Amino acid sequence: MKKIDWYILRKFIGTFIYSLMVLLVISVVIDITEKIDDFLEHDLSLGFVFMNYYIGFIPHIAALLFPLFIFISVIFFTSKMAYRTEIVAILSAGVSFRRFLRPYWVGAIGFGAILWVANQWIVPKANRIRTTFETKYVKDQKDQKALEDKSMRIDTSTYITFGYYDPNYKNGTNFILNRIDGQDLEYILRADRVTYDTASRKWKLEGVSERRINGMKEVFATRPDTALKLALDPSELIEIRNRQEGMTTPELREYLAKEELRGAEGLSVYYVEEYRRTSAAVAVVILVLIGAIISSKKVRGGSGLHLAIGIVISATYILFMQFSTVFATKADLDPLLAAWIPNFVFAGLAFYLYLRAPK
């Protein structure tokens, strides 16, 4: 790293931090205007809201727009250098274009590593703080939706079904439990009503009937009520919005392993989230290189033209990400491919622009 590299790297870091701070201030102000009625309704102080909500909201919005704002920042300061003929002077001094990109590589890899670490552990914990606050204090997010005909596998041989379950009161109706040995059904339990007892951590059943099946023999019995210790916590039945965003990567992988065992469906969104956390970090490197290449050439339109091109590319990147995510969650597109398609496309664009860039 030479003096010119440190010069470019300082501009890189300074411009990005300034842009990010401006973005966060604007985002917080907009969010306050949307939720001010909820804050006033619950008589929440500014300090309480900040420590219990915005301390989680700020990392969330920063990580969400991190690749795009670092892209815009690179275009902004590089186009300024090109407009002042600094890049022409650097290349005229015998520095190759590939050598000129070295500080951009260093900055991109550094920021990409920061985003990767944040996405794995820091941002999920921040999202947990944010969603907990919204669930408790923000309108339309307090009550959990009741579930109907909810079936799941809770261990290797036990399957359960709730005809109806209300997560707000932790009770339900038309409960069925089946135990299977290999391919043989050996036990069926039915209950008219089921309630979770938080003190004993057991499920209390009312209006119970049991069938024990052994080959051609069957034993039927009824009882008014009973209590069962199941490998099922009521929190696992709650339909939490964007649950995957509040899990650290180890927690997310553990959850996926458990849900796969239960034969759960609709896990694509969780897999997309797992793979997106790494692909977003790689996107930082790709977008930095694209930004440096397209804005290093001095053009008549100056920074304005470069920024316009940057906004178009940013919008295209978001569009690709949204399309691939929808195809993964609603269709049969592999989640790994869905998370990485935008990076593949834009890595090809970066390589093409590099070949076409004036050296």
Coil, helix or strand for 119? helix
Cβ(162)–Cβ(194) under 8 Å?
A: yes
Coil, helix or strand for 149? strand
The region of weakest confidence among 83-87, 159-163, 253-257, 311-315 is 311-315
Q: Where are the alpha helices (DSSP H) in 42-162?
A: 46-49, 55-83, 86-92, 97-100, 102-117, 123-137
Q: pLDDT grade, residue 282 (50/70/90)?
A: very high
Q: What is the chain's Cα-based Rg?
A: 27
Q: At CA 23, angle to CA 18 and CA 28, rounded to 5?
A: 130
Q: For residues 235-256, give the mean pLDDT.
A: 88
Query: Would you say residue 302 has pLDDT above 70?
Result: no
Segment 96-142, tens digit of pLDDT: 999 999 999 999 999 999 999 999 999 999 999 999 898 888 866 55
pLDDT at position 205 is 96
Q: Quick one: angle between helices 335-356 and 302-330, nearest 10?
A: 160
CA 305 to mean position of chain CA atoms: 33
Cα separation, 233 vs 175, in Å, equals 15
**Which tokens is 135 given?**
């669930």
Q: pTM value? A: 0.86
To which residue do tokens 């470019």 refer? 8
Burial class (CB in 10 A: 0-12, 13-18, 19+), 201: exposed
Helix (H) / strand (E) element for 17: namely helix 3-41
pLDDT at position 51 is 94
Segment 229-244, tens digit of pLDDT: 998 889 888 777 788 9
| Total Cβ atoms within 10 A of residue 181 | 10
Cα separation, 131 vs 273, in Å, equals 17
Q: For residues 52-73, give the mean pLDDT.
A: 93
Specify the higher pLDDT residue, 348 or 259: 348
| Total Cβ atoms within 10 A of residue 69 | 20
Cβ(98)–Cβ(293) under 8 Å?
A: no
Coil, helix or strand for 241? coil
| Alpha-carbon distances, residue 51 vs 10, 44, 207, 311 (angstroms) | 32, 11, 47, 34
48 HSE (CA, 13 A, CB side): 8
Q: pLDDT grade, residue 77 (50/70/90)?
A: very high
Q: pLDDT grade, residue 143 (50/70/90)?
A: low
39 HSE (CA, 13 A, CB side): 16
- The beta strands (E) that lie in the chain are given as 147-153, 158-166, 171-181, 184-197, 202-214, 217-228
pLDDT at position 4 is 92
Coil, helix or strand for 174? strand
Q: For residues 288-299, give the mean pLDDT.
A: 89
To which residue do tokens 């949204």 refer? 322
pLDDT at position 351 is 94
Cβ(120)–Cβ(43) under 8 Å?
A: no
Coil, helix or strand for 311? helix
Mean pLDDT for the chain? 90
Residues of the chain with pLDDT > 90: what percent?
A: 64
Query: Would you say residue 53 has pLDDT above 80?
Result: yes
Specify the higher pLDDT residue, 140 or 35: 35
Cβ(286)–Cβ(105) under 8 Å?
A: no
Cβ(172)–Cβ(163) under 8 Å?
A: yes
Q: For residues 40-54, give the mean pLDDT.
A: 93
Query: Would you say residue 59 has pLDDT above 90?
Result: yes
Which among 185, 163, 186, 195 is positioned nearest to 176, based on CA atoms? 163
Q: Which residues contact 65 (CB under 8 A, 6 or more apart)?
A: 23
pLDDT at position 301 is 62
pLDDT at position 238 is 78
Cβ(356)–Cβ(296) under 8 Å?
A: no
Query: Would you say residue 340 has pLDDT above 90?
Result: yes
Query: Would you say residue 304 has pLDDT above 90?
Result: no
CA 221 to mean position of chain CA atoms: 48
